[in-house]
Structure 1
Amino acid sequence: MPLDTQKLNSLGLPKPPAETRVVVAMSGGVDSSVVAAMLAEEGYDVVGVTLQLYDHGAALAKKGACCAGVDIHDARRVAEQMGFPHYVLDYENIFKDAVIEEFAESYLGGATPVPCIRCNERVKFKDLLETAKDLDADCMATGHYIQRKLGEHGPELHSAADANRDQSYFLFSTTPDQLEFLRFPLGHLQSKAETRALAAKYGLTVADKPDSQDICFVPDGNYAGVIEKLRPGSVAPGEIVHADGRVLGHHKGVIHYTIGQRRGLGIGGLDEPLYVVKLDVDSRRVVVGPKEMLSTRTVPVREINWLGDVPLASRTEWHVSVKVRSTRPPREAILRARPDGTAEVELLTPEEGVSPGQACVFYETGGTRILGGGWIWRGY
């Protein structure tokens, strides 16, 4: 039967499920476990893969970190229950080189990095995706809350149906080639309750497992502590300085502060509320000032991944919506490409606390499509 007349399966492939091999990236959490169980029940040739990304010894009993040893055990148990093979791949060296090292350098440089984006970009959707192809998979499925839709020019990336679970901010760097191979079976669900109900339906022991909250290699949320272990002796004390030049106090290291921070500055007794407005790494100064100094209208971005149907540089400017933090709703903006491959985003309404190291993600105005994004690389 010609491919164009053959019926497509639920993953959009022209094969019966039993002849369609799907590698499922399994973190051990409820989301990816449900994806694997769902596809196995539909009759797909499922292969579960869990990545060992760092030394689990210190986090074996830590349930809030996505890659702790207990999660590998949970993923394996789901595979045994649903009757498909499961592999654990040692990606510690890849993860250290591609994610952790940059995280440390970025923090020491005064930025506020988002290592989960780099992990998706450089590990899961690069090395793991290639491994899936080596396993003769037809596609790779994950438990991310995002939608893949077929458009006029091929697969498009769209926000999840549930805005509260949407993970598009963390997946903006997914390339068109990767999007051809990836599938996101949970993106259309209306709530996390639906996912947990499916887990209960399949009888999965992870049905009530809490969501991961922390960066997997920072299971206690202490970023500075991780940096000090990775770069011993690199954290130096310095001054806390008002934007008008007054020295207000001293700190034990710039890495203990982030742009927009108000609490825990150690400079109490002042009449006005002060916020961190700049981190001057070279002079080891934390600069503080009034809230209005946090307002930013112009955001420079680089390392742009563009998912539009025509090249970014084909227009002088694009009217888009953007997110400069994962927890904030998209805001209207104008995107202008530069000849050197970078771009400038003009926010129509100023945002507070825009920080180098964060991502700026582009969305179709009034729609759900992700047009790409880039990395904020210096503050104004």
Structure 2
Amino acid sequence: MKVLAAMSGGVDSAVAAARAHEAGHDVTGVHLALSRNPASYRSGARGCCTIEDSNDARRAADVIGIPFYVWDLSERFHADVVEDFMDEYAAGRTPNPCLRCNEKIKFAAVLDRALALGFDAVATGHYAILREGADGLVEMHRSVDAGKDQSYVLGVLDQHQLRHSLFPLGDTPKAQVREEAARRGLLVADKPDSHDICFVADGDNAGWLREKLGERAPNHGGVIVDDETGEELGRHDGTYGYTIGQRKGLRIGTPAPDGKPRFVLDIEPVEGTVRVGPRERLAVHGLEGIRPRWCGTVPASDTWGDCTVQLRAHGDEHRARLRVHDGGESVSVELLDPAYGIAPGQAVVVYDGSRVVGSATIASTDRSPVGSAS
């Protein structure tokens, strides 16, 4: 099989490429240049697409003995990921750019180009497992390493994309991947994992958004108020600097009457208001999801079914009930155990056991206890 290995410059993608090559596939490595201004790439290991990473990927490809290229997808990345990130925060929502990058770049733009060039599949270093189901469809399951499982950020992939994907690391714990990299002579064996958002140079999301959005954001300045009393507690430079569930950096000097910390409960970007209150008021019991992406067969509409859901990339799994509307166009989710700090714009990924059913973008949350649905 002719395989394009997406090589980020980290240990995972390097070992994934090596395994694909060792399995007898005709492998070509490619690194994605995602910044329109290479001079802005940070050094170190905070991100996953720096100049330093490109050089590490090239050296790994040389050790493996495969051809290597760099593809410039900076314009597409800026339009589909960076602009989306800014627009979502300006609207008071909390996006996940890694999920959007998988959907729009790595398994859309890259896969489309790979197939057009005659490749059969794209291999990445993601931690997830693919297997054929009883119905002949490709199923995606959680990886064996629960701490590194990345099925959440892959929950946007549809059946076409899964059929042309390879995840060689899903059955291996991360510690063993590093040991294997060292045995193979890959210099990235001890390279730290990437963290933060790759296009935010110093990890300061609020500062980056303030610089990029500026006057473009509605009511770039506003007030922070107590959600129960309506009392003004402070002012802010822009609602884009806050997310629901946030505790630190609120810049409010007045302590709560009970002395407990306050959390962001709601963001109103048009009015420029950030509402804060106690943690217990963050409890979410249900949510509505839009723009679903189904990994396989769409669940039956208008009936409630048991499932589990994950609401953050490294969050807990929650027992839930799912109801699909209009043949898969939107979803309702009841949480049997409340989740905290869940914000519109985040993704809900639905599981049946270890199998990923699909995902949706959270449009709204319900903080009233479950009990009315049937």
Q: 1:117 aligns with which of 91, 99, 108?
A: 99
Q: Read off the aligned partner of 2:323 and give its amino acid letter.
A: R
Once the two structures are TM-superposed, the CA of residue 308 in structure 1 deviates from its matched residue by: 4.6
Once the two structures are TM-superposed, the CA of residue 332 in structure 1 deviates from its matched residue by: 0.8
Once the two structures are TM-superposed, the CA of residue 231 in structure 1 deviates from its matched residue by: 2.5
Counterpart in the other structure of 1:302? 290
Note the aligned Cα RMSD (angstroms): 1.5
SS in 2 for 1:378: strand
Confirm or deny: 8 A CA contact 1:330 1:363 kept in the other structure. no
Counterpart in the other structure of 1:274? 262
Once the two structures are TM-superposed, the CA of residue 35 in structure 1 deviates from its matched residue by: 1.1
Counterpart in the other structure of 1:76? 58
1:66-145 matches, cutoff 5 A: 66-145=48-127
Q: 1:332 aligns with which of 315, 319, 322?
A: 319
1:164-203 matches, cutoff 5 A: 164-189=147-172, 191-203=173-185
Counterpart in the other structure of 2:242? 257
1:30-45 matches, cutoff 5 A: 30-45=11-26
Confirm or deny: 8 A CA contact 1:66 1:214 kept in the other structure. no
Once the two structures are TM-superposed, the CA of residue 186 in structure 1 deviates from its matched residue by: 0.1
Q: Read off the aligned partner of 1:376 and give its amino acid letter.
A: I
Query: What TM-score, normalized by structure 1, do the two folds share?
Result: 0.91
Counterpart in the other structure of 2:2? 21
Counterpart in the other structure of 1:17? none
Deviations 1:143-187 (A, max 9, x none): 000010111122101001110000011010100011111010000
SS in 2 for 1:99: helix
Q: Read off the aligned partner of 1:241 and give its amino acid letter.
A: V
Q: Read off the aligned partner of 2:355 and give its amino acid letter.
A: R
Q: Runs of 4 or more off by more than 4 Å in structure 1?
A: none
Once the two structures are TM-superposed, the CA of residue 234 in structure 1 deviates from its matched residue by: 2.8
CA distance in 1, matches of 2:264, 2:214: 25
Confirm or deny: 8 A CA contact 2:225 2:274 kept in the other structure. yes
Q: Give unmatched runs, 5+ long, in structure 2.
A: 367-374
SS in 2 for 1:157: strand
Q: Do residues 349 (structure 1) and 331 (structure 2) align? A: no
Residues 274 and 335 (structure 1 numbering): CA distance in 2 closer, same or farther, change over 3 Å? same
Q: Read off the aligned partner of 1:52 and give its amino acid letter.
A: A
CA distance in 2, matches of 1:376, 1:117: 13
Counterpart in the other structure of 2:186? 204
Once the two structures are TM-superposed, the CA of residue 38 in structure 1 deviates from its matched residue by: 2.2
Counterpart in the other structure of 2:222? 238
Query: What TM-score, normalized by structure 2, do the two folds share?
Result: 0.92
Once the two structures are TM-superposed, the CA of residue 379 in structure 1 deviates from its matched residue by: 3.4
Deviations 1:262-302 (A, max 9, x none): 12211134133211100111110110011111011111101
Counterpart in the other structure of 1:293? 281
Once the two structures are TM-superposed, the CA of residue 314 in structure 1 deviates from its matched residue by: 4.2
CA distance in 1, matches of 2:213, 2:252: 27
Q: Give unmatched runs, 5+ long, in structure 1.
A: 1-19
SS in 1 for 2:234: strand
Once the two structures are TM-superposed, the CA of residue 306 in structure 1 deviates from its matched residue by: 2.0
Q: Read off the aligned partner of 1:22 and give its amino acid letter.
A: V
Q: Do residues 58 (structure 1) and 40 (structure 2) align? A: yes
CA distance in 2, matches of 1:43, 1:307: 28
Q: Do residues 374 (structure 1) and 342 (structure 2) align? A: no
Counterpart in the other structure of 2:27? 46
SS in 2 for 1:207: helix
Confirm or deny: 8 A CA contact 1:228 1:234 kept in the other structure. no
Once the two structures are TM-superposed, the CA of residue 339 in structure 1 deviates from its matched residue by: 2.9
Q: Read off the aligned partner of 1:122 and give its amino acid letter.
A: K
Counterpart in the other structure of 1:3? none
Identity across the alignment (%)? 42
Confirm or deny: 8 A CA contact 2:92 2:240 kept in the other structure. yes
CA distance in 2, matches of 1:125, 1:307: 13
Task: Give the number of aligned pairs.
Answer: 357
Q: Read off the aligned partner of 2:246 and give its amino acid letter.
A: Q
CA distance in 1, matches of 2:275, 2:26: 56
Confirm or deny: 8 A CA contact 2:302 2:325 kept in the other structure. no
SS in 1 for 2:334: strand
Confirm or deny: 8 A CA contact 2:103 2:156 kept in the other structure. yes
Once the two structures are TM-superposed, the CA of residue 362 in structure 1 deviates from its matched residue by: 0.2
Deviations 1:106-133 (A, max 9, x none): 0111111100001000011011001211
SS in 2 for 1:232: helix
SS in 2 for 1:170: coil
Counterpart in the other structure of 2:370? none
